[in-house]
Amino acid sequence: MMPTMKTFFPLILIGAFLPAFAHAQQTVAPTTGEATGSVRGDNVGTYNIVQQWELGYRFASVGGDSGSYRSDVNYHNGIRLLNSSLTINSRDGHGKWFDEITLSTQGLGHDPYESATFRIQKNQWYRYDLLWRSNDYFNPGLTVANGEHLIDTNHRWQDHELTLLPQNWYRLRVGYGRTAQDGPALNTATPFDSQGAVFPVFHNVRQQFNEYRVGGDATLHGFRFSILRRWEFFKEDSADTQTTTLTGAALPFSSSTDPSVLTSFNRSQPYRGDTRGWLANLSGERKFVAVNARFSYSGGRGDFVQNERALGIDRFSNGQNRQIAVTGNGTRPVTTGDLNLTLFPASKLSVINTTSISNTRISGNNHFVQFDNATLSNDNLNFQFLGIRLITNATDVKYRFTKRLDAFAGYRYSNREIRSIEDSADPGQAFQGLTGQQTNVLQAGVAGVNWILLKDLRLHVEGEIGRDDHPFAPNSLANYHAIRARVRYAKRKYSVSGGYQQNYNNNSIQITAYSSHSRNYNGDATWNAKSWLALDASYSNLHLDTIGGLQFFAGSPRASLVADQSSYYISNIHAANLGLRIPIRKRADLYAGYSLTRDAGDSRAAYILPRLAPGLADLYHAETFPLTYQTPLLRLSVQITPKLRYNLGYQYYGYHEDFGLLAQNQNYRAHTGYTSLLWSF
């Protein structure tokens, strides 16, 4: 029996408000590349309907560090709507209430990554789009804080947009977006002094962001103008609490004789902020010129309060009752403008010029007070103003010598000014009117070629070199150069491509020096050998080494400044992917895949250790991080009927650290898989 439209409307209404997400890493489920039913779908009345649903059971068995597995993969047992898609289209383009409905979902049923997208539109009248996503986020926090910065939250996004008169020369748009994150976490506090014990406290994450927008578009005489008014509201009510008594001597990394005791700790830090802004865009083209201009303004305002109270005993065995209050309000107006002009003075010549201006200012009255109830003393700090103005200009010239060869060259210029006032001029305050100002100019040149060497062989090469006269931060671009190249050879049944990218940066500012070198080699190939065999393969190698100066306080019994150490980091990542698809007698499809990521580190030997100062050997574990991550997968899809397929898949995850920070290796192995029915009806 042919289904009626009444059969589908409940599914549409339910599915429209269900989840969505597409995970970046290749996974064995949902089933991809296979389909059921006719691509033309079924006709029901004046509509054509195409849909398929994949319902199955996902299983997982995990050994080793389950926290690390949850932060990387996080798939668990359970029934899932792995994937679904539905399209309903008016056959003549004149449906009564709508002409198109599309719905797609992924991972519904408590997968860690869920999503849904929905669209309904009536030609010439309206179009409504919905996006919904949900991510379960877990971070064990082992590498930086021995697990004391753990976080286990749920992050949800939704976005709605209604467009009126979508095919007209003018149209109106209204929209709403919402982002929320909540869940439990762990935080840390040093409530009595910076050298005392670090206590773990419970952290309740509660964050919410809402956006409202209204705007419109109009097209006249080949020019399109868009304007959007936007209102954004952010609030955070995260709080830290600790009601049980903690002893410093029993905490990790604390001295066994540390007398510190935390009896109770409470910290609330509500924040309320709103940003109201305008966005405008104008674009158009004439015979010899194309114009694209953008302007945006946002006026952010924020109010915050932090109230912290700690009771206990400090490292000198003194009773403590300490309060900290931070209050403030501020404005953050941000103005940006871009003008892009493309000139076509000749058929083979084009000139592109882009000028951008941005101005950001943060100003307000922010006040920090620390009050010690035990000594009846208090400390005060004030922070007043930060302003950043940036002007950039880029000019590129492109010339086509022949149909197979073109070249381009360009010049980049940017001028940035940073001003700050950390405290108003008020005798008795901590900074006593500390102000700062810096201007830096970055100039760079680029050049490159696109060359069709042979009919099926293409080459792209470009380079860039730049100089900054006064870089702001140690890792800012200063004396740098970049090289990028790619070659591709493609025939009907196969293609091969390879690339190289190099980025070098050397910097030296008043505080410290910094240098970074990265090189990336990559290649990929596809081969449709026969109608029954398809192969995909890729490989990349990324080398990165950085070195920068370190300045920090360390030592016992009294910490002193250490300024003669360097921060090294070396990484050599090898990544390979292989996929093979084999149809079996037109009734089944077999897919096998394998992904391997290996960071070889620096292949260091023990002789490197002596260069570190006594007591600083822990830095050794942060300078390279060799590990291996691999995930083979196998999937079989069998056609039972023209509208029904049975799918079975298996995927293994193996993660192994050669050594981790503070000798904490987060190794794990996981056997995952699924079984499902892919159904078109």
Q: What is the pLDDT of residue 17?
A: 30
More confidently predicted of 674 and 192: 674
Residue 636 has pLDDT above 90, yes or no: yes
More confidently predicted of 34 and 591: 591
Residue linked to tokens 């025939």: 491
Name the least confident of 184-193, 359-368, 402-411, 431-440.
431-440
More confidently predicted of 658 and 25: 658
Highest mean pLDDT among 66-75, 162-171, 306-315 belongs to: 162-171
Residue 680: other Cβ atoms inside 10 A: 19
SS3 category, 155:
strand
Q: What is the pLDDT of residue 625?
A: 83
Q: Tokens in use for 656?
A: 């192994």
SS3 category, 406:
strand
What is the rounded distance in angstroms from the CA atom of residue 400 to the CA atom of residue 406?
4
Q: Tokens in use for 221?
A: 């005489």
Residue linked to tokens 């994150």: 181
Residue 511: other Cβ atoms inside 10 A: 11
Q: Tokens in use for 592?
A: 């096998």
For residue 607, give the DSSP letter. G
pLDDT band at 658 (very low <50, low <70, confident <90, very high): confident
Nearest 5°: the CA angle 596, 598, 602 is 170
For 74-88, what is the mean pLDDT? 93
Residue linked to tokens 């709605």: 160
For residue 642, is it left (φ>0), alpha (ψ between -120 and 50) or beta? alpha
SS3 category, 622:
helix
Residues 356-373 pLDDT 10s? 999 999 887 766 676 666
Q: What is the pLDDT of residue 336?
A: 96
Residues in the chain, overall count:
681
Residues 398-421 pLDDT 10s? 999 999 999 999 999 999 999 887
Q: What phi, psi does 255 have (nearest 5°)?
A: -70, 145
Q: What is the pLDDT of residue 317?
A: 82
pLDDT band at 154 (very low <50, low <70, confident <90, very high): very high
For 130-141, what is the mean pLDDT? 92
Residues 449-508 pLDDT 10s? 999 998 899 999 999 999 998 888 888 888 999 999 999 999 888 899 999 999 999 987
Residues 612-621 pLDDT 10s? 555 555 566 6
pLDDT band at 376 (very low <50, low <70, confident <90, very high): low
What is the rounded distance in angstroms from the CA atom of residue 52 to the CA atom of residue 17?
18
More confidently predicted of 488 and 35: 488
- Percent of the chain whose predicted confidence (pLDDT) is above 90: 54
What is the rounded distance in angstroms from the CA atom of residue 133 to the CA atom of residue 180?
11
What is the rounded distance in angstroms from the CA atom of residue 445 to the CA atom of residue 461?
14
CA-nearest of 366, 353, 354, 376 to 302 is 366
Residue 12 has pLDDT above 60, yes or no: no
- Could you tell me the pTM of the whole model? 0.83
CA-nearest of 242, 365, 367, 378 to 323 is 378
Residue 252: other Cβ atoms inside 10 A: 11
* Peptide bond connecting 557 to the previous residue in cis, omega within 30 degrees of 0: yes
Residue 243 has pLDDT above 80, yes or no: yes
What is the rounded distance in angstroms from the CA atom of residue 516 to the CA atom of residue 502?
11
Q: What is the pLDDT of residue 5?
A: 34
Residues 554-574 pLDDT 10s? 766 666 777 777 778 889 999
- Percent of the chain whose predicted confidence (pLDDT) is above 70: 85
What is the rounded distance in angstroms from the CA atom of residue 43 to the CA atom of residue 88?
10
What is the rounded distance in angstroms from the CA atom of residue 308 to the CA atom of residue 373?
13
Q: What is the pLDDT of residue 455?
A: 87
Instruction: Write the CB contacts of 611 (distance below 8 Å, at least 6 apart in sequence).
Output: none
More confidently predicted of 520 and 325: 520
Residue 10 has pLDDT above 60, yes or no: no
For 496-524, what is the mean pLDDT? 90
For residue 20, give the DSSP letter. B
Q: What is the pLDDT of residue 282?
A: 96
What is the rounded distance in angstroms from the CA atom of residue 451 to the CA atom of residue 488?
11
Residue 62: other Cβ atoms inside 10 A: 19
Q: Tokens in use for 650?
A: 């298996």
What is the rounded distance in angstroms from the CA atom of residue 61 to the CA atom of residue 653?
10
For 287-310, what is the mean pLDDT? 91
For 244-271, what is the mean pLDDT? 81
What is the rounded distance in angstroms from the CA atom of residue 283 to the CA atom of residue 341?
10
- Confirm if 246 and 259 have CB atoms less than 8 A apart: no
Residues 527-542 pLDDT 10s? 987 777 889 999 999 9
Q: What is the pLDDT of residue 16?
A: 31
Q: What is the pLDDT of residue 42?
A: 85
Q: What is the pLDDT of residue 474?
A: 80
Residues 300-339 pLDDT 10s? 888 888 888 899 888 888 888 888 887 888 889 999 999 9
Q: What is the pLDDT of residue 608?
A: 47
> 185: part of which helix (H) or strand (E)?
strand 170-189
Q: What is the pLDDT of residue 558?
A: 67
- What average pLDDT is seen over the chain? 85
Got the DSSP string for 25-54?
S--S-S--S---S-TT-EEETTEEEEEEEE
Residues 592-613 pLDDT 10s? 999 999 998 876 554 344 445 5
Q: What is the pLDDT of residue 110?
A: 87
Got the DSSP string for 595-645?
EEEEE-TT---GGGGGGSPTT-GGGGGGS---EEEEEEEEEEEEEEETTEE
SS3 category, 11:
helix
> 72: part of which helix (H) or strand (E)?
helix 66-72
What is the rounded distance in angstroms from the CA atom of residue 477 to the CA atom of residue 466?
8
pLDDT band at 23 (very low <50, low <70, confident <90, very high): very low
pLDDT band at 378 (very low <50, low <70, confident <90, very high): low
- Confirm if 363 and 322 have CB atoms less than 8 A apart: no
What is the rounded distance in angstroms from the CA atom of residue 127 to the CA atom of residue 124?
9
